[in-house]
Structure 1
């Protein structure tokens, strides 16, 4: 089944080209095209899509400001003529970055990358998966999910922090994302996965767990807010 998408692009010629690429590929169905953030946001808050083709510089507000306001996170492919936005694209965890003008083949590469990533997504473990084993200091250590406060990336290592201990293991945050119980844990930053039940409070772009201050990236803020029991 083709991916559903919308195009947010203020230049009609660029939007038309993207539309032709989508049609030619047979992999993507364009549901709508918007030339500004306000109208796109109104549509996205009422309709779920698989993919968002998003220009950065538009009248009134930027594409990044749109992402800040989304209540959910479709896959995003940025389309822009300026390479300096590549770092921001990384911060927002977008799937790919198409620098204008791009070829049809480059478009296809981005879409195939998205499809491949989606096929690698691991279903959330069952609620009975209440612990993990980690390799630390030459032995396997059993950690209950409820005992883990958060996990912090340290390059090729990850630090597991509990109430009274810290364990360092040779691992990566990316690998852990595929293995953890997603009912308990959530990624809040490229360097942090936290236990959602251990949050004490949130202030601006940081959250606090037992005195530990942990940054929240813009790409993950909406998902965190959605997971909280706010009354």
Structure 2
């Protein structure tokens, strides 16, 4: 079974190279090539694809503008000649960042990353109901149900609990995302992991837990909404 993809790239030579890479991979089916955001957005909001190869700088709107307006969120691989967009790529939770010019081997590495999230998204029944964190020179046990959210503080993270206590430990959100019980917790922003069962309400791009306002990034909002029991 092949993945469907779309190429959004205003330079024809770059688009042609991407098409050749896709054909060589034998696992991708190119459904279209668009030279600007307006045309791509019109197609993508009417047709679902698995992967979006997206240039950043194009005439008029940018690739990030396109992501802001999409009705759904496919896997995104950015293609650009400028490294300074790497931070934005991280913010939008893209699968990979291909800096032009890139080799076919580098292209293949990006495709390999597409398979990793599929396994990561599986919620296992063997996950425990608590965690231990290193705090104040000791290991502290926190029950999952007592944790409201986890917030990044640079090289440290803060666990906020239902009794308004705060535990700070040396760790990262990225590392914790792989270790917490994903039946209970979900990453909603590059700086926040929240207890899905503690959400009081959601307004636009923010959610509220016991009076705490927490931002929800555009990249993570679809996953959050899928986890909610919306009727």
Q: TM-score, normalised by structure 2?
A: 0.80
Bigger RCO of structures 1 and 2 (CA < 8 A, at least 6 apart):
1
2:23: which partner in 1? Answer: 23
1:88: which partner in 2? Answer: 88
2:160: which partner in 1? Answer: 161
1:171-182 equivalence runs, <5 A: 171-182=171-182
Measured after TM superposition, the shift of residue 153 of structure 1 is: 2.4
Does structure 1 residue 134 correspond to structure 2 residue 132? yes
Measured after TM superposition, the shift of residue 154 of structure 1 is: 3.4
Query: Aligned partners of 1:83, 1:207: CA distance in 2, in Å?
Result: 32
Query: Aligned partners of 2:133, 2:100: CA distance in 1, in Å?
Result: 46
1:69-218 equivalence runs, <5 A: 69-115=69-115, 117-118=116-117, 120-126=119-125, 131-137=129-135, 138-139=138-139, 141-145=141-145, 147-164=146-163, 165-203=165-203, 205-218=205-218
Query: Aligned partners of 2:229, 2:62: CA distance in 1, in Å?
Result: 30
Query: Aligned partners of 1:26, 1:158: CA distance in 2, in Å?
Result: 42
Query: Aligned partners of 2:224, 2:118: CA distance in 1, in Å?
Result: 24
Question: 8 Å contact 1:188–1:215 — kept in the other structure?
Answer: yes
Query: Aligned partners of 1:49, 1:28: CA distance in 2, in Å?
Result: 11
Question: 8 Å contact 2:10–2:34 — kept in the other structure?
Answer: yes
Query: Aligned partners of 1:48, 1:178: CA distance in 2, in Å?
Result: 28
Query: Aligned partners of 2:118, 2:218: CA distance in 1, in Å?
Result: 25
Question: 8 Å contact 1:6–1:53 — kept in the other structure?
Answer: yes
Does structure 1 residue 41 correspond to structure 2 residue 41? yes
Question: 8 Å contact 2:144–2:184 — kept in the other structure?
Answer: no
Residue-by-residue CA offset, 1:107-135 (whole Å, 9 max, x unaligned): 223223334x3365251134x96822223
Q: 1:39 to 1:70 in 2, by over 3 A?
A: same
What's the RMSD between the two structures over aligned residues?
Answer: 2.9
Query: Aligned partners of 1:218, 1:131: CA distance in 2, in Å?
Result: 29
1:6: which partner in 2? Answer: 6
Measured after TM superposition, the shift of residue 7 of structure 1 is: 0.9
Query: Aligned partners of 1:224, 1:15: CA distance in 2, in Å?
Result: 33
Query: Aligned partners of 2:155, 2:10: CA distance in 1, in Å?
Result: 42
Question: 8 Å contact 2:10–2:58 — kept in the other structure?
Answer: yes
1:62: which partner in 2? Answer: 62
2:54 partner SS: strand
2:220 partner SS: helix
2:219 partner SS: helix
Measured after TM superposition, the shift of residue 23 of structure 1 is: 0.8
Q: How many residues align?
A: 228
Residue-by-residue CA offset, 1:22-58 (whole Å, 9 max, x unaligned): 1112232222222333343343334443321001123
Q: Which runs of 5+ in 1 are unaligned?
A: none
Q: TM-score, normalised by structure 1?
A: 0.80
Q: Which runs of 5+ in 2 are unaligned?
A: none
